[in-house]
Amino acid sequence: MCYNLSMAFGDLVLDSGKALPLGASLSREGVNFAIFSRHATMVTLVLFESPAPDSPRVEIPLNTRGNRTGDIWHCLVRNLGAGVCYLYRVDGPYIPEKGLLFDPKKTLIDPYAKALTDLGHWNFRKNMGFDPGQPRCIIIDDDDFDWQGDLPLNYPLRFSVLYETHVKGLTAHPNSGVEHPGTYRGVIEKIPFFKELGITSLEFLPIQEFNEREFPRINPRNGETLINYWGYSTVAFFAPKGSYASDRKAGAQVGEFKEMVRELHRAGIEVILDIVFNHTAEGNEKGPTFSFRGLDNPIYYILNENKRYYQNHSGCGNTVNCNNAVVRAFIMDCLHYWVNEMHVDGFRFDLGSILGRDQYGRLMENPPVLEWIAEDPILGATKIIAEAWDAGGAYQVGWFPGGRWAEWNDRYRDDVRKYWRGDPKETRHLATRLAGSSDLYLRDGRKPFHSINFITSHDGFTMKDLVSYNSKHNEDNGEENRDGGNNNYSCNYGSEGPVGDPVLQEIRKRQLKNFFATLMVSLGTPMLLGGDELARTQKGNNNAYCQDNRISWYDWSLLEQNRGLFRFVKEMIAFRLRHPAFMRPEFYTGRDGNYNAIPDISWFTEKGVTPEWDKIGCCLALRIDGSKADTLADTDDNDFFIMFNAGLDPVVFTIVEAPKRKIWFRAVDTSLYDPDDILLPGNEKPLSSQTRYTVKVRSTVILLSKEPV
């Protein structure tokens, strides 16, 4: 069977093709197309000569005998190459009460599409038939890139420091100083900054192609249309976002994403992707149909008893049926693609608890897809991080199923915030978080590094706003300030928002340093919110999901304004990574592991005695034994004595005796000004025979033991 589309296409010869792999696979023979639909009665492949809206097209119906194997529809189109675009039409029963919503008038995106044309000019809500502006799938040549020997870095979690950021927002500001603002290449241009900061891994907000224009709201203050900035509304799970590429040629985003990964790896920096398998951009029953819904709605989504409607455990209108065998295979194919073809080092699974729900929306004890991800041999060295809750009421922090999963530890976030705010009875909780959250992770055999410790993330206040606002200020989001969390455990210390009072400014700066110091000496894997090291503000907006503007973009002028804070953060990161005592692979036991009469960790009050945890105040001290027998490192580390004072008065701490033939040296005191707040290796201040140390108001002090000079 031949189809003559145009002189550019030449004669297209259609063969039966094969069922696997799914998607559009380029070979020397042509392109093999394969797509799943169990309930369809007819599938039509729509080919376009180019991405142009008026591009010539041809429609190729697939025969149910020659082009169908089981539930897979397939064909091989010879004489076809990379750059050609395609969509599908799928016919079948339209029985909404059974969840079947086939409509042959609508053109559909292949779930396995590796790139899409520009989404910016298509109204998803009006996909009633063929629309020249609809994004099209682009055939990609996966081999058309020179990796130059690159492979994923796959650092062990315990040696990692994560940095959560947004590809566009990182460099979109006019003062970003890059040639390619808001793009993958803009990220490459910031590599010297990341190297100076010292982080090991970038964790990107979603970069899979998403619908920016799904919100019908405007900013009530200035009338601007609000768009989806964060990207938690996936359209195509295999496709990197085209608008993040500096070259807007169709398909160029794939090569630019690979280029970014390669150059980050060359600089020793990992790439972790935030991935959103819990829902799609098709929304609820009133949403658009452009892919999964039109291909096989009851397979891909969890439906209500009345199958016209969707269960909504995501808070976004629908819930993906993750533990259906077909969807499980889709998820694994997607993860394999990003690891094998795109070389990423890990994934953070948004609302990960949804991946543990069955076809009825019930949480499962041993969810197949979570176990498969954890045990999959291809993903064996890949980081897998769960947001261990969802919008349907599931909360699984500390008991997320599936084996080796790490988790965003929001208990760490809240307990550290409350301690430094000065809340009563929080000191014992601080101790638990400093020690790796064994209350959450020890019981099922996981390790301290499975706790992703963070104080701020994209979802909530920035750290600067955490110490500047008592309440959220989300009026720009057009929801009358109803959106966003209300329990932020923040404090403005006397005045809401920016202030000129130098005393108040100093309090806030000290609290920022306390947060960073606490994060870097805690057992677990630390994650920073990008821009916190610059004291970036969102003006009190704690839910800036729709703010693609200067509210969210990094203001790089802050680097110079807050040079002292930046120095403190980078030196604290370096301090952590120099000392295996803070990266030990096992939980503390409170016992002596090397017969030196010093437990691996010891706790003290400011008076130097063991705390009564029910009565302890706002002060806490701890001693960490750095011997290799306790840290399981190759060499002995220093010992450490760390003092915390969240109170409003200076406190004189009793310092425990240093190891034999050694004395204590001050490395960190957050009450001091730059550069004395953190001293470089070799420049630490000796305390000699000093047995007491005054820890100022709201301050952290870190001592380490060395032989006297």
pLDDT 10s digits, 132-171: 778 999 999 999 999 999 999 999 999 999 999 999 999 9
pLDDT, tens digit (0-9, with 9 covering 90-100), for 580-608? 999 999 999 999 877 787 999 999 999 99
pLDDT, tens digit (0-9, with 9 covering 90-100), for 422-447? 999 999 999 999 999 999 999 999 99
Q: Is 77 in contact with 14 (CB distance < 8 Å)?
A: yes
Strands, E, within 581-658: which ranges? 601-604, 619-624, 640-645, 651-654
Residues in the chain: 709
Q: Is position 148 within any domain?
A: no
Judged by DSSP in three states, 584 sits in coil
Amino acid 120: pLDDT: 80
Point out the catalytic residue in the list 350, 426, 630, 677: 350
545 and 601 assigned to the same domain:
no
366 and 336 assigned to the same domain:
yes
- Tell me how many domains the chain contains: 3
pLDDT of 130 > 70? The answer is no
Judged by DSSP in three states, 564 sits in helix
pLDDT of 388 > 90? The answer is yes
| Domain final position from 552, 578, 604 | 578
Structural domain that includes position 53: 2-138
| Domain final position from 578, 608, 634 | 578
Angstrom distance (rounded) from CA 644 to CA 698: 8
Residue 608 has a CB neighbour count (10 Å cut-off) of 14
170 and 236 assigned to the same domain:
yes
Q: Is 350 a catalytic residue?
A: yes
Amino acid 63: pLDDT: 85
Q: Is 541 in contact with 527 (CB distance < 8 Å)?
A: no
Amino acid 632: pLDDT: 87
Q: Is position 340 within any domain?
A: yes
574 and 594 assigned to the same domain:
no
39 and 118 assigned to the same domain:
yes
Alpha-carbon Rg for the chain in angstroms? 27
Q: Is position 397 within any domain?
A: yes
Amino acid 53: pLDDT: 84
Q: Looking at this protein, which amino acid is placed at residue 6?
A: S
114 and 261 assigned to the same domain:
no
Name, in order, each residue with C-beta under 8 angstroms of 210's C-beta and a sequence gap of 6 or more: 228, 231, 232, 233, 234, 235, 241, 281
516 and 650 assigned to the same domain:
no
Q: Is position 152 within any domain?
A: no
Angstrom distance (rounded) from CA 40 to CA 500: 66
Q: Which helix (H) or strand (E) holds 439?
A: helix 438-441
How does DSSP assign 180-224, residue by residue?
A: STTSHHHHHHTHHHHHHHT--EEEESP-EEE-TT----B-TTT-P
Residue 71 has a CB neighbour count (10 Å cut-off) of 15
448 and 592 assigned to the same domain:
no
Amino acid 609: pLDDT: 97
| Domain final position from 553, 578, 603 | 578
Q: Is 87 in contact with 236 (CB distance < 8 Å)?
A: no
Q: Is position 82 within any domain?
A: yes
Whether the bond between 21 and the residue before it is cis, its omega within 30 degrees of 0, is: yes
Angstrom distance (rounded) from CA 156 to CA 349: 18
489-519 b/e with 16+ CB inside 10 Å = b? bbbbbeeeeebeeeebeebbbbbbbbbbbbb
Domain CATH for 621: 2.60.40.1180
Domain CATH for 262: 3.20.20.80
What average pLDDT does the chain have? 95
pLDDT of 215 > 50? The answer is yes
Point out the catalytic residue in the list 263, 296, 387, 637: 387
Judged by DSSP in three states, 617 sits in coil
Q: Is position 536 within any domain?
A: yes
Residue 39 has a CB neighbour count (10 Å cut-off) of 19
pLDDT of 404 > 80? The answer is yes
Angstrom distance (rounded) from CA 319 to CA 391: 10
pLDDT, tens digit (0-9, with 9 covering 90-100), for 335-358? 999 999 999 999 999 999 999 999
459 and 380 assigned to the same domain:
yes
For tokens 């990094």, what's the residue? 554
11 and 63 assigned to the same domain:
yes
Q: Is position 313 within any domain?
A: no
The model's confidence at residue 9, banded by pLDDT at 50, 70 and 90, is: low
599 and 517 assigned to the same domain:
no
375 and 250 assigned to the same domain:
yes
Domain CATH for 56: 2.60.40.10
pLDDT of 128 > 90? The answer is no
Report percent pLDDT > 70 for the chain: 98
Q: Is position 640 within any domain?
A: yes
Angstrom distance (rounded) from CA 139 to CA 85: 6
Q: Residue 211's closest CA among 221, 201, 226, 223?
A: 226
The model's confidence at residue 473, banded by pLDDT at 50, 70 and 90, is: very high
Residue 630 has a CB neighbour count (10 Å cut-off) of 27
Judged by DSSP in three states, 292 sits in helix
